[in-house]
Amino acid sequence: MTVRLARRYGFSASHRLHSPALSDTKNRALYGKCNNPHGHGHNYEVELMVRGSVDAVTGRAIDLAALDRLAEEQILAPFRWRNLNEEVEAFRREVPTTENLAAEVDRRLRAIWDDRFGPSGPRLERVSIWETERNICQVSDYE
Amino acid sequence: MELSEEENSHIYGAAANPLGHGHNYIVEVAIAGEPDPVTGMILDLKHLKEILEEKVLSVYDHRLLNREVAPFDRIVPTVENIAIDIWNRLERQIDSTGRARLYSVRVHETNELFVEYRGEV
């Protein structure tokens, strides 16, 4: 039987929303307070939703310890307490909006997913990121 | 197939403690359907509440799932299996009410983990 399992993690990081393609005035108008040159921080939450069939012996749809290790390695350790603009390669080129952050988390996990869980194992169905309680961005594999 | 004590503790970690452990589970049930043109509802929520109480909460609440709630005398009470069992207990009850059908059952085991079942084989 196919279920969806969602696991949630948290990390704190800082960023500044500023596009090099726009003038300082346009950046300020577009991003407002988020354009503060000194940056600002968030307590991000990441939810990974996985679709898999429940193993008849273990009753599990995925090896949770392996999922936790993957998240720690690929997302939490590289992002935790970092300045995303300066310390995460992808955000030297892209603005670290919640949209781009969700896409980067999705890319990092998919790049290594099949090595960890096998091509016929559980699938990563959706990555969601809460920047605040009111600002959530999702990337799904079926869109 | 049976797993050894060692394999069990490797797979489930602290959750394999022989003395068990508890959770404050939260169950979220989603119903889909066309609203009734007169009442504007797809299902009377009072009725849903009664079904949930009778078929799920009164059966599960404050029980040792492994011993006191079938089918967990036979299968492992992971949150995956709990979501599937709750679906099985509710599906026909909700169908019998007409407009509404059960869309999903979500069981939150902790703030960091939930499983959703939509009746897929």
The pTM for the full model equals 0.93
Asked if B1 has any chain A CB less than 8 Å from its own CB, the reply is: yes
Which CATH number covers residue A133?
A: 3.30.479.10
In A71-100, the residues whose Cβ lies within 8 Å of chain B are none
Cβ pair B51, B90 in contact under 8 A: yes
Output the pLDDT for position A143. Answer: 46
Residue of A nearest to B78 (CA): A59
Nearest-neighbour CA in chain B from A73: distance (Å)? 18
Total domains, chain A: 1
Query: Which residues in chain B show pLDDT less than 70?
Result: 1, 96-97
Asked if A54 has any chain B CB less than 8 Å from its own CB, the reply is: yes
| CA-wise closest residue to A84 among A138, A29, A34 | A34
Nearest-neighbour CA in chain A from B24: distance (Å)? 17
**Residues A89, A29, A33, CA angle at the centre, nearest 5°?**
65
What's the whole-number mean pLDDT along residues A75-100? 97
**Record: contact B11-A60, CB cut-off 8 A:** yes
| CA-wise closest residue to B112 among A29, A18, A5 | A5
Q: Which residue has the tokens 């902790």?
A: B110
Nearest-neighbour CA in chain A from B2: distance (Å)? 8
**Record: contact B76-A58, CB cut-off 8 A:** yes
Query: Distance (Å, rounded) from C-alpha A70 to C-alpha B119?
Result: 29
Percent with pLDDT over 90 in chain A? 98
pLDDT digits (tens, 9 = 90+) for A91-143: 999 999 999 999 999 999 999 999 999 999 999 999 999 999 999 999 998 64
For testing contact with chain A, the best of B3, B78, B116, B120 (most A CBs within 10 A) = B78
Domains of chain B: 22-117 (3.30.479.10)
Asked if A133 has any chain B CB less than 8 Å from its own CB, the reply is: no
Asked if B91 has any chain A CB less than 8 Å from its own CB, the reply is: no
Output the pLDDT for position B96. Answer: 65
At how many degrees (to 10) do helices B45-52 and B79-95 cross?
130
ipTM confidence score: 0.89
Query: Distance (Å, rounded) from C-alpha A137 to C-alpha A128?
Result: 6
Output the pLDDT for position A142. Answer: 61
| Tokens (6 digits) for B106 | 């979500």
Nearest-neighbour CA in chain A from B13: distance (Å)? 9
* Residue A79 confidence (pLDDT) above 90: yes
| Tokens (6 digits) for A101 | 């952050």
Q: Give A-chain residues touching B118 at CB under 8 angstroms.
A: 4
Q: What is the extent of the structural domain holding A113?
A: 2-140
Taking every pair of C-alpha atoms in chain A, what is the biggest distance, in angstroms?
61
Output the pLDDT for position A29. Answer: 97
Output the pLDDT for position B98. Answer: 76
Query: Distance (Å, rounded) from C-alpha B117 to C-alpha B89?
Result: 13
Asked if A125 has any chain B CB less than 8 Å from its own CB, the reply is: no
